[in-house]
Structure 1
Amino acid sequence: MKLRNTAGAALAAFALVLSLPASAFAAQGYFHYKFVDGFGQEQHITLHDPHSGKCINLYGVGDDDEEPGYGPHNDTDAAVTVYLGVGCSGPEWTLRAKGKPARDDLQVRSVRFHTDRG
């Protein structure tokens, strides 16, 4: 009988975890940055509700062979650390939640959103 109760409790706990919204692991809001593509055109990229706690190599700039992105703007509810290197390496800078856009001379290739809000 104890085994059945334990299994039932474990199953209920597992179901509860599955029912949590995915947004519990994401920064809520938008993160923007710019980069110049291979045709010399400035592109504006927006990440919507980006995943928190893991390194994100940014589209169009997430390779050391490409020019880095620039002018990041963190309009999410979580602080973010921006990195000049891929894989969240190299010089870094932290942007606060719901902050103002950074200057265009702040370059970025990868980011990591903080799991604690703020």
Structure 2
Amino acid sequence: MPARSLTAALGAACSAFALLVAAPGSAFAATGQFRYTYTTTDGYEAVGFLNNPPSGQCINLQGSASEPGSFSRAPKNRTDATATVFLDADCEGDTYYILPPGTGASERLLLRSVVFS
């Protein structure tokens, strides 16, 4: 292969890689909304939500991970990605539940953290 063709091919490959790296974050995010219920520190019921959550990143849910003995519940996965919800904070522990896109769970399912595929 002539040096000029090799240089052009290498340049094109580098440009394609740079474009991939510079792509907006939404390419690596679940599209849609994830909702859940939690109890505020004042004892009120509240609805938390994550809009277009990042994929592959553990998210500790509001009102649950920081409060000992407190859990979120009733998750609704209205995203286009699979959500794996964990009973423990930081997506740790052996107790987890998988919610395919467009599904939800009852008030009985307790959770503290979630990660999206």
Q: CA RMSD in A?
A: 2.1
Q: How does 1:1-118 map to 2 (within 5 A)?
A: 8-9=11-12, 11-63=14-66, 65-90=68-93, 91-99=95-103, 101-114=104-117
Residue type at the aligned position of 2:98:
T
Q: Following TM superposition, where does structure 1 have runs of at least 4 consecutive aligned residues deviating by more than 3 angstroms?
A: 1-11
Cα offsets for 1:1-55 (capped at 9, x unmatched): 7797587446523431244231111000000001001111001011000011121
Listed as ranges, the gaps of 5+ residues in structure 1 are none
Count how many residue pairs are aligned between Structure 1 and Structure 2. Answer: 113
From the CA coordinates, give the structure whose radius of gyration is larger.
2
Distance 1:51 1:106 in 2: 22
Q: State the TM-score, normalizing by the size of structure 1.
A: 0.82
Listed as ranges, the gaps of 5+ residues in structure 2 are none
Identity level (%): 40
